[in-house]
């Protein structure tokens, strides 16, 4: 019999699998087989050992295995600016951040900032994240080398003072999109910073590239009252109306924030299949407002979570984001039944995958999907006892409970130790950059 067993890379036995498959199965006494970077098989223990001969086996007990979390909106390298500018409104915050960026942003500092962000995201169970920032090729390469899954692409903007490396160079953008169209772990997209930071020419160009190449399009929209005024002055419309008129809403569009929407705009996002990146920490901290998430979900809008940059959050911990979102929506609607825990956890996983156009590949533990997962230690006081896994995953967990993280079959963190990134070196480089920033 032994000779008929199929050799496979890894077998995970025991523990609990919160699969997030369409049936929302939560499995115990099961075995998950991983091979060639994919989930190959899931089933009972005795059959697993008849069928497979694993190169490696992990035996779990109290641990919980979840699909890796998906951070659908962020600015990774801004981890360098965490805690630098707090307690002011978006417009003042932006002008201070842009001043610092103009002084310190380079390929080298972006690489360090991006690696710092990945460390924090991996430590909090994230396996895939979108980015929008300068020197996007540098960040993409940093992610690829770290084995971290990334959604990234040129972000068109028209910002005075950034001519040297502004991302409006179409030829460079198209080269990137060609080069990364079939590279493992890299999922190219096209982005525009926002309606207020671009113009109709840029939006039309970005729309054409997105349509020609069937790419995900990401932009900021309706984040703050100040932005609403600026866009109305510039276009005579709201940000959503501008994007709609430019043909930029649809099921390949992801809008960050959407705090200030009319009822009709919520309906429109639902009807067009547009996704929203909800970033509650950033929206609250900058007093941008509170997105009407419960109403968006009711209207059929796909809502997932983004941390936004660490300069406005100030962390990249998606568990924290999810807990905050659930509590705030219950508080502002006066209805404790909105955003129940299972729904919120789906927003961290499968809805995130849908938001970045990867629902066929990631977001759940299902046979055939890429092996992106996190393993959580539930043998801790804050998760004991456990009546309902979704409840703990939203209301009680903390980033420190994440013990292993895998992307496409490769461990990026094992027993809380980084496997592909040199944590001490990255943090030292970040401190070095901070010494320069302090002098600005
Ligand atoms: Zn943002």
Residues 6 or more apart whose CB falls under 8 angstroms from that of 245 comprise 237
Residues 381, 325 share a domain: no
- 329 within domain boundaries: yes
Tell me whether residue 422 is in a domain: no
How many domains does the chain contain in total?
2
Peptide bond connecting 173 to the previous residue in cis, omega within 30 degrees of 0? no
Conformation bin of residue 407: beta by default, left when phi > 0, alpha when psi is -120 to 50: beta
3-state helix, strand, coil in the chain (%, to 5): 40, 25, 35
- Residues 296 and 306: their CA atoms lie apart, in Å, by 16
Same structural domain for residues 144 and 245?
yes
- pLDDT for res 164: 45
Please answer whether residues 136 and 176 qualify as being in contact, where contact means their C-beta atoms are separated by less than 8 angstroms: yes
CA of 271 to the centre of ligand 1 (A): 24
424 within a domain of the structure (yes/no)? no
286 CA from centroid of ligand 1 (Å): 12
Distances (CA, A) of 129 to 28, 307, 362: 29, 10, 12
Cis geometry, peptide bond prior to residue 40 (ω within 30 degrees of 0): no
Helix (H) or strand (E) holding 41: strand 38-44
Answer yes or no: is 435 within a domain.
Answer: no
Residues 170, 309, single domain; the answer is yes
Could you tell me the distance, in angstroms and rounded to a whole number, from the CA of residue 21 to the centre of ligand 1?
29
Q: What is the pLDDT of residue 389?
A: 98
Neighbours of 26 (CB within 10 A): 17
* 407 shares a domain with 331: no
Helix, strand, or coil here: 347?
helix
Q: Give the pLDDT confidence score for residue 26 in this predicted structure.
A: 98
Please give the distance, rounded to the nearest whole angstrom, from the Cα atom of residue 218 to the centre of ligand 1: 10
Residues 258 and 378 in one domain: no
User: Residue 124: which of 316, 306, 360 has the closest Cα?
Assistant: 316
Q: 315: CA distance to ligand 1 center in Å?
A: 13
If asked whether residues 230 and 268 sit together in one domain, one would say yes
* Rg (alpha carbons) of the chain, rounded to whole number: 21
> Domain containing 265 — which CATH number?
3.20.20.140
- Of 281, 111, 135, 130, nearest in space to 219 by CA: 130
Question: How many angstroms is it from 256 CA to the middle of ligand 1?
Answer: 7
Same domain, yes or no: 142 and 286: yes
Point out which residues pair with 425 in neighbouring strands.
none
Domain boundary among 355, 385, 403: 355
Please indicate, yes or no, whether residues 14 and 135 belong to a single structural domain of this protein: no
Q: Residue 23 forms beta bridges with which residues?
A: none
CATH of the domain at 60: 2.30.40.10
Residue 165 pLDDT: 46
Write out the residues surrounding ion ligand 1, Cβ under 5 A: 308
**Pairwise CA distance, residues 377 & 316, whole Å:** 20
φ/ψ bin of 273: left (φ > 0), alpha (ψ from -120 to 50), beta (otherwise):
left
pLDDT computed for residue 160 by the predictor: 64
Do residues 83 and 63 both lie within one domain? no
Final residue before a domain boundary, out of 305, 327, 355: 355
- Ligand 1 centroid to Cα of residue 343, in Å, is 24
Residue 426 lies in a domain: no
Residue 3, pLDDT score: 59
Please check whether residues 8 and 129 belong to one and the same domain. Answer: no
What three-state secondary structure class fits 67?
A: strand
Residue 15 domain-assigned (yes or no): yes
pLDDT given at position 161 = 57
Task: Give the Å distance between the CA of 280 and the centre of ligand 1.
Answer: 12
pLDDT in tens, the chain (440 residues): 445 899 999 999 999 999 999 999 999 999 999 999 999 999 999 999 999 999 999 999 999 999 999 999 999 999 999 999 999 887 888 888 888 998 999 999 999 999 999 999 999 999 999 999 999 999 999 999 999 999 999 999 886 655 544 555 788 889 999 999 999 999 999 999 999 999 999 999 999 999 999 999 999 999 999 999 999 999 999 999 999 999 999 999 999 999 999 999 999 999 999 999 999 999 999 999 999 999 999 999 999 999 999 998 999 999 999 999 999 999 999 999 999 999 999 999 999 999 999 999 999 999 999 999 999 999 999 999 999 999 999 999 999 999 999 999 999 999 999 999 999 999 999 999 999 999 88
Spacing, Cα 196 to ligand 1 middle (Å):
13
Specify if 86 maps to a domain.
yes
Residues 295 and 151 in one domain: yes
Q: How far is the CA of 258 from the centre of ligand 1 (A)?
A: 11
Do the domain assignments include residue 221? Answer: yes
- Expressed in angstroms and rounded, the spacing between residue 276 Cα and the centre of ligand 1 is 12
Cα–Cα distance for residue pair 300/269, rounded to 1 Å: 8
Ligand 1: centre distance to CA 312 (Å): 9
What is the domain extent for residue 184?
69-355
Are both 42 and 94 inside the same structural domain? Answer: no
Cα 26 to averaged position of ligand 1 atoms, centre (Å):
34
């Amino acid at each position: 019999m032994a000779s008929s067993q199929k050799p496979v890379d890894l077998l995970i036995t025991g523990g609990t699998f919160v699969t997030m498959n369409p049936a929302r199965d939560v499995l115990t006494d099961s075995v998950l087989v991983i091979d060639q970077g994919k989930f190959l098989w899931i089933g009972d223990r005795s059959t697993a050992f008849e069928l497979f001969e694993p190169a490696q086996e992990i035996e779990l007990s109290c641990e919980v295995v979840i699909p890796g979390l998906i951070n659908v909106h962020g600015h990774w390298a801004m981890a360098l600016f965490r805690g630098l500018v707090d307690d002011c409104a978006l417009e003042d915050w932006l002008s201070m951040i842009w001043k610092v960026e103009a002084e310190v942003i380079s390929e080298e500092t972006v690489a360090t900032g991006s690696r710092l962000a990945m460390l924090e995201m991996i430590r909090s169970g994230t396996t895939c994240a979108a980015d929008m920032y300068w020197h996007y090729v540098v960040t993409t390469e940093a992610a690829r080398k770290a084995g971290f899954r990334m959604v990234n692409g040129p972000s068109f903007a028209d910002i005075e003072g950034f001519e040297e490396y502004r991302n409006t160079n179409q030829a460079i953008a198209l080269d990137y999109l060609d080069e990364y169209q079939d590279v493992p772990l890299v999922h190219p997209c096209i982005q525009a910073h926002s309606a207020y930071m671009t113009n109709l020419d840029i939006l039309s160009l970005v729309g054409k590239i997105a349509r020609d190449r069937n790419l995900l399009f990401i932009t900021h929209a309706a984040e703050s009252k100040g932005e609403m005024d600026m866009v109305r002055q510039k276009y005579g419309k709201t940000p959503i109306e501008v994007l709609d008129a430019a043909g930029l809403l649809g099921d390949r569009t992801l809008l960050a924030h959407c705090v200030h929407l009319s009822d009709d705009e919520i309906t429109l996002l639902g009807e067009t299949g547009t996704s929203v990146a909800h970033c509650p920490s950033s929206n609250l901290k900058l007093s941008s407002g509170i997105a009407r998430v419960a109403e968006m979900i009711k209207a059929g809008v796909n809502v997932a979570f983004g941390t936004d940059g660490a300069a406005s959050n100030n962390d990249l911990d998606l568990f924290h984001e999810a807990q905050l979102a659930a509590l705030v929506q219950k508080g502002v609607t006066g209805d404790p039944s909105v955003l129940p825990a299972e729904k919120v956890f789906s927003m961290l996983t499968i809805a995130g995958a849908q938001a970045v156009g990867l629902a066929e590949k990631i977001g759940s533990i299902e046979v055939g999907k890429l092996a992106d997962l996190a393993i959580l230690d539930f043998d801790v006081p804050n998760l004991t006892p456990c009546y309902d896994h979704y409840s703990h995953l939203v209301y009680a967990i903390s980033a420190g409970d994440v013990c292993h993280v895998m992307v496409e079959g490769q461990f990026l963190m094992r027993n809380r130790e980084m496997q592909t990134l040199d944590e001490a070196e990255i943090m030292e480089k970040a401190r070095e950059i901070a010494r320069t920033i302090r002098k600005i």
